[in-house]
Structure 1
Amino acid sequence: MRKYGVILLFAMVANVIIAQSPSLLVEAENFSKKGGWVVDQQFMDLMGSPYLMAHGMGMPVADAEISVEFPSTGKYDVYVRTFNWTSPWYEGEGPGKFQLRLNGEKVGSVLGCTGNEWYWQKAGKVDIRKKENVITLQDLTGFNGRVDAIYFTQDNISPPNELTTLGHFRKQMLDIPEEPQQAGEFDLVVVGGGVAGTTAAISAARLGLKVALIQDRPVLGGNNSSEVRVHLGGRIKVEPYPALGDVVKEIGPSRGGNAQPADYYEDEKKMQMVLAEENISLFTNYRAFAVKTEGSSITEVYARHIETSEELSFTAPLFADCTGDGTIGFLAGADYAMGRESRDEFGEPTAPETPDKMTMGSSVQWYSAEEKQPVDFPVFQYGVEFNDENVKQVTMGEWTWETGMNYDQINEFERIRDYGLLVVYSNWSWLKNFSAEKEKYNNRKLDWVAYVAGKRESRRLLGDHILREQDLTDFVIYPDASAPTTWTIDLHYPDPKNTEHFPENEFLSIAVHKPIHPYPIPYRCLYSRNIDNLFMAGRNISVTHVALGTIRVMRTTGIMGEVVGMAASVAAKNNTNPRGVYNNHLNELKKLMEKGVGKYDVEDMQNYNLGGSLGPKITTIDIPPYDKD
């Protein structure tokens, strides 16, 4: 059984392989000693690779280091693929400065402060006099300098920048096989290890399926992990299926709160719950990047390790897209929606008159800590002007620090996350250095800033039913009623006061709530309408933008995952697909939802962040019989 942390076929140094003399490619994420640099994989679909980032919140981080063997001695030109991340807002030199060193000696000039896109920058020349050498990345500022890769060549030709060509170049230089290695055959492959993916995997495994769970970070939980720090929301133990939520109860943290210390989110609890299931093979740090299809079905999913570059192939008759972004569905050609539908399209009163691309945004949360002595913070002014009129006089920022509503949450996501970092640093710099109230902040230190952004909305994969506002408000109960949603219709918009100061560059949001009764989501929202063997659970299920406002909180998405795991077991038992469960085996699924898949007798700690006023509690719902079994 493959388990967490043991699925590595390449050692770190082994990935720095010379495929063609006299050149050497070193991937930054392959560094054996990362020091204080972090691996950021969130944008590898956009710029081609994970990268190392110096996330020091204004304090330089410890050096990253790797020992490499050059193909031969002699003089080499050095290129570094990097990016000045503040360039969308500021034309001058950026703050993400770092120095490349070879055997302790500086190589060329300071990097990371120029360039308005990811590209290969000429770093200088080196004279290699021995084959074994040590490469070091020295952070100079602590302000998110980033490095994709380093290339040494005697040909004085930089590598390609076009992503497809660059991908082939990487494989050639690192001697990565063109075809991924088989990870094994499974009954169900779940992609995405957030709350929904974790509960889907656990539920299916407990019902006897052999499950692969693929997660592109080292921890599980997604937005409810210590990396993002959003607490669970919504309710469990709700009619007509009060057993739904048993798995959420088992893995959920006992304490609530956004932007709290890391231990609040109990990453280890989620991990141990998954590792305890013998039917789950867990693949952490693997990001799915491609799918293979035959007709209207997925046959394989390909995933790449975010540090070693190893590629694996996963085969199964059933797949579940719990990525949040609908990545697997998108790659397979699934129908999807993104942005806001018009009022006429579904007749939703809350929808805008005309459709647009606006989405709810992503949050970069943060907090500060009070120290016993004064703490300095560098002046940080990179294109967004703060002053005493528009600065936020706060010591932390949670969900309301939300960016990117008017940008593409897929294709412009790095810009969205970076703007979140930019405004946190800029606001804090003003408070510390220029504010009329700066004495209040004299002893405060910026203690934690998320670099993994908490995303609310992007693609929504379309199923045989698209949940809409009237289903919820008119309480339309369908025969395939399943996972209950108990949150208000909670939609976010740019804060009008923030718009006054930062028009079209808002970073604060407001929430507008519309109460509903607890509502059972139709099962048909949990599978694709045109990819025959694809389930989905999480914020990427089949809903309109308005309906997304209620189903996106994580106790609700976790319950969806439980239903998907149950439906997958029904499909496997009856040799059918997700739609076949609806057409022919719905009563079998209902029986499982009535029983639940809880395994441990744990105290119910799910009594925080339950939601606002939702109307009268629903005690019975008449769901008519639908199928033969």
Structure 2
Amino acid sequence: MKWLTCAVLATIAYLFASPVSGSELLVEAESFTDHGGWQLDTQFISEMGSPYLLAHGLGKPCQDAKTKVSFPAPGKYRVFVRTKDWVAQWDAKGAPGKFQVAIDGKPLQETFGTESADWFWHDGGVVDIEETDVTLSLKDQTGFDGRCDAIYFTTDLNAKPPTSGSQLAKWRKQQLGIVEDIKTEGPYDLVVIGGGYSGMGAAISAARMGCKVALIQDRPVLGGNGSSEVRVWAMGLIRRGKYPRIGEIIEEFADRAKKSPGTYEEFGDEQKEAIVRAEPNIDLFLNHHANQLEMKNGEIASVTAFDTRTSQVRKFEGTFFCDATGHGSIGALAGALYDQTDKGRMGMSNMWRWDEADHETTFPETPWALDLTMKDFPYPRDHHGQWFWESGFDKDPLHGAEAIRDWNLRAVYGAFNAMKNREGASKHKNAELTWLAYIGGPRESRRLIGDVVLTQDDIVDKREFSDGCVPSTWSIDLHYPKKEFADKFPENPFISIAVHDQRVDRAYGYPVPYRCFYSKNIPNLFMAGRCISVTHEALGTVRVMKTCGMMGEVVGKAVSVCKIHDCSPREVYEDHWSEMDELLKLPGQARRETVTAKIEMPDVLLPASSYGPPTGLNPAKMAGIVVDDRQAEKSGNWTEGTGLKGYVGHGYLYAGQKGAKVRFPVKIEKAGDYEVRLAYLPHENRSPSVSVSVSGKQAKGMKRINMQEQPPIDGGFISLGTFSFTAGETAYVEVEGSGNGNVHADAVQLIPVEAK
């Protein structure tokens, strides 16, 4: 761990680059006034102790980071740079993270990022400082993720800064005369730590129920895995089950991405922030990393966080706290009970995309990346490296997170090198790597323990809990290394496969109990998101973002009940559930200024539904007679999917089993001739020859469809022919699996011929 304590961070907020005893100067990389093309990386603070600047240029050197500093006096200074050779831990050759430090534009002779597998002070030699006011620059040389944490100058040419965390912290305080300057914020009714879907849901829900809320997020944008930084599209169905209003808040800011990863614009970072800032009861603190807390009488009294840009320290006092960090970080600091699967966890993804330029492009050779050929990874279809670029299944997801991320980077760079410089070169002359997430998308780490630990059997057996409230509609989706690509790198496979337990009710949803959303032993701690009280297996269904967001909505309403009755989260269930039940039935836009004020309802209500509104094309607004797959009769193993956009209703069905059948019954009210159409979505894994039949009292027909090809009719339909039907009869359209690729069934549409 690095030396940075709250005391250090508070001082640096004012000093940035601080003269110490007349012969020393320390410059923190995060304090640079102009980051240039370098990125501020805050995701490994708990691991290595500090934010740092990352030269993430996708193989093109980044624009210089610059700042102005003042030396205490002219003279000869020895320079140390805290950095590392990020591929050295694997004995990889080439040092891709090379960079230089320049003073007034003149680079030091030493090149940094070329030594040590661990963070260390790289000796940069001696420099003659003639003018006390200079411009300090970081000059990236490769674009391949060089990293700089801090720069230290000393006139003691034999000095060397301490290396261990405790020694560094003490040394810094003594040498810099650090005085703590902590700003106190609050007190708040609820302090939410983590600004992903679950944290946003909790903050907005509590604020609208009259609670004063602080929302703390360690990144510059909201959304977590559902932000433009990570680009995991929002999955999980909302507004269904016992409480069909839950999810209306999430729907306000959920992304509309058509693919994962999608584009920057599709994830709507600005919209998310605007929705949060529009709530008068929320104080938003972006770029704040929470790393300490105070306990009083067994409860959390305050959480301390520092600004990752200025290092200003803030203490957030509150009555209740919600851990929405994903890692259960606040719960762990508070001593909350938690569980963590030792081996075989779900890993971390770093997705990527490439595009076609209008000219030939080049990409540097990457001898330090994973040594890949085109057969060593799945071809990135649609120019996307998707969710399954995932590793770290048996690695430490907390203290080894940086290494997991860096391994993923090596995998992507190695793959693109194979595309550009190896056997894929002739096909990819114009290919250009345009985006690679340097912020990892983790799936699993700590799970905090509540009064109920939800299991796979609970979900599959539909065990009924009296406080069941958040509908989980995702299958139990667990990830494992994909053997086809794992043999070459058994120590850390980087391509995963999803194994689905399809026994989850994906239409109505399994209601996750409220008692999974608060700590068993910390009386004022809530949790929402993937760190709730579930087993490893149950996590496979609750971890998707819209589901996590709905947990936050429930937590926010529970906080208001706690405030009204001066009670604990546990007592909400034990003594006040009838009141909570009423709040969960409210529209998402319902609000009150304080917890004791009258609830005001929105002028326009969304229609309530046990299944929620269609998430795709609305069958009720389509011409003719439309029968969705939800009304179809199924035999064999069919899976409901929502991953391919453009579907009708709430999703679609697909099956790879030979002989699997789905039959659409169509009630004919008016006799006549009808064009019969089938809706499907094409994909390369679809069957090229799908048997589809039409049958009625007079109508008989069969057609074979290549479902790898785009349907020719707008809306994703293909015509099966025109048939005559009699009034009152029930006709059928049947789709049968061939076993040669997946068969897709979405909807059937009958268009009266005279209406065409």
TM-score by length of 1: 0.90
Deviates more, 1:487-496 or 1:8-17: 8-17
- What do you get for the CA RMSD once the two structures are aligned? 2.0
Inter-partner Cα distance in structure 2 for 1:582 and 1:613: 38
Q: Partner residue of 2:391? A: 403
Inter-partner Cα distance in structure 1 for 2:85 and 2:456: 43
> Of 555, 558, 576, which aligns to 2:549?
558
Q: Partner residue of 1:377? A: 363
Percent of paired sites with the same residue: 44
Contact 1:194–1:222, Cα closer than 8 Å, also in 2: yes
Inter-partner Cα distance in structure 2 for 1:11 and 1:45: 19
- SS in structure 2 at match of 1:52: strand
For residues 612 and 194 of structure 1, do their structure 2 counterparts lie closer, same or farther at Cα, with a shift above 3 Å needed? farther
Q: Partner residue of 1:213? A: 215
**Pairing 1:150-189 to 2, within 5 Å after superposition:** 150-155=151-156, 156-170=158-172, 177-178=179-180, 180-189=182-191
**Alpha-carbon distance, 1:384 to partner:** 2.7
- SS in structure 1 at match of 2:376: coil
- SS in structure 1 at match of 2:249: helix
Contact 1:60–1:140, Cα closer than 8 Å, also in 2: yes
Q: Partner residue of 1:311? A: 313
- SS in structure 1 at match of 2:478: strand
Bigger radius of gyration: 2
For residues 225 and 577 of structure 1, do their structure 2 counterparts lie closer, same or farther at Cα, with a shift above 3 Å needed? same
Q: Partner residue of 2:123? A: 122
**Alpha-carbon distance, 1:108 to partner:** 2.9
Contact 2:10–2:313, Cα closer than 8 Å, also in 1: no
Q: Partner residue of 1:365? A: 351
**Alpha-carbon distance, 1:92 to partner:** 3.1
**Alpha-carbon distance, 1:15 to partner:** 2.1
> Of 414, 417, 428, which aligns to 2:402?
414
- SS in structure 2 at match of 1:595: coil
For residues 324 and 257 of structure 1, do their structure 2 counterparts lie closer, same or farther at Cα, with a shift above 3 Å needed? same
Q: Partner residue of 1:61? A: 62
- CA distances 1:501-539 after superposition (whole Å, capped 9, x unpaired): 222221100001112121111111000001110000000
Q: Which runs of 4+ in 1 moved over 6 A?
A: 8-13, 602-605, 610-614
Contact 2:478–2:498, Cα closer than 8 Å, also in 1: yes
Report the residue type matching 1:512 in the other structure. Answer: V
For residues 204 and 255 of structure 1, do their structure 2 counterparts lie closer, same or farther at Cα, with a shift above 3 Å needed? same
Report the residue type matching 1:376 in the other structure. Answer: T
Whether 1:570 and 2:561 are equivalent positions in the alignment is yes
Report the residue type matching 2:293 in the other structure. Answer: V
Structure 1: stretches of 5+ with no match in the other structure: 1-7, 340-355, 615-629
Contact 1:94–1:382, Cα closer than 8 Å, also in 2: yes
Inter-partner Cα distance in structure 2 for 1:175 and 1:98: 31
Inter-partner Cα distance in structure 2 for 1:613 and 1:477: 27
Report the residue type matching 1:580 in the other structure. Answer: E
Report the residue type matching 2:126 in the other structure. Answer: K
Whether 1:445 and 2:447 are equivalent positions in the alignment is no
Contact 2:10–2:311, Cα closer than 8 Å, also in 1: no
- SS in structure 2 at match of 1:328: helix
Deviates more, 1:108-117 or 1:542-551: 108-117
- CA distances 1:221-280 after superposition (whole Å, capped 9, x unpaired): 000000000000011111100000010011112333211110010111110100000000
Aligned residues: 590
Report the residue type matching 2:433 in the other structure. Answer: L
Report the residue type matching 2:160 in the other structure. Answer: S
Contact 2:10–2:181, Cα closer than 8 Å, also in 1: no
Q: Which has the higher contact order (CA 8 A, sep 6+)?
A: 1
Inter-partner Cα distance in structure 1 for 2:239 and 2:409: 38
Report the residue type matching 1:514 in the other structure. Answer: D
Q: Partner residue of 2:106? A: 105
> Of 414, 436, 443, which aligns to 1:426?
414
Q: Partner residue of 1:141? A: 142
Inter-partner Cα distance in structure 1 for 2:396 and 2:533: 19
- CA distances 1:308-363 after superposition (whole Å, capped 9, x unpaired): 11111000110000000000000111111111xxxxxxxxxxxxxxxx42210110
- SS in structure 2 at match of 1:368: strand
Deviates more, 1:466-475 or 1:13-22: 13-22
Report the residue type matching 1:449 in the other structure. Answer: L
More strand per residue = 2
- SS in structure 1 at match of 2:88: coil
For residues 210 and 405 of structure 1, do their structure 2 counterparts lie closer, same or farther at Cα, with a shift above 3 Å needed? same
**Alpha-carbon distance, 1:438 to partner:** 1.4
- SS in structure 2 at match of 1:440: coil
**Pairing 1:291-306 to 2, within 5 Å after superposition:** 291-306=293-308
**Alpha-carbon distance, 1:164 to partner:** 3.0
**Alpha-carbon distance, 1:392 to partner:** 4.1
Structure 2: stretches of 5+ with no match in the other structure: 1-8, 591-601, 607-612, 617-641, 644-649, 655-756
**Alpha-carbon distance, 1:131 to partner:** 1.3
Inter-partner Cα distance in structure 1 for 2:242 and 2:148: 52
For residues 559 and 612 of structure 1, do their structure 2 counterparts lie closer, same or farther at Cα, with a shift above 3 Å needed? farther
Q: Partner residue of 2:715? A: none
For residues 108 and 198 of structure 1, do their structure 2 counterparts lie closer, same or farther at Cα, with a shift above 3 Å needed? same
- SS in structure 2 at match of 1:289: strand
> Of 240, 243, 249, which aligns to 1:241?
243
Contact 2:390–2:408, Cα closer than 8 Å, also in 1: yes
TM-score by length of 2: 0.76
Inter-partner Cα distance in structure 2 for 1:68 and 1:605: 57
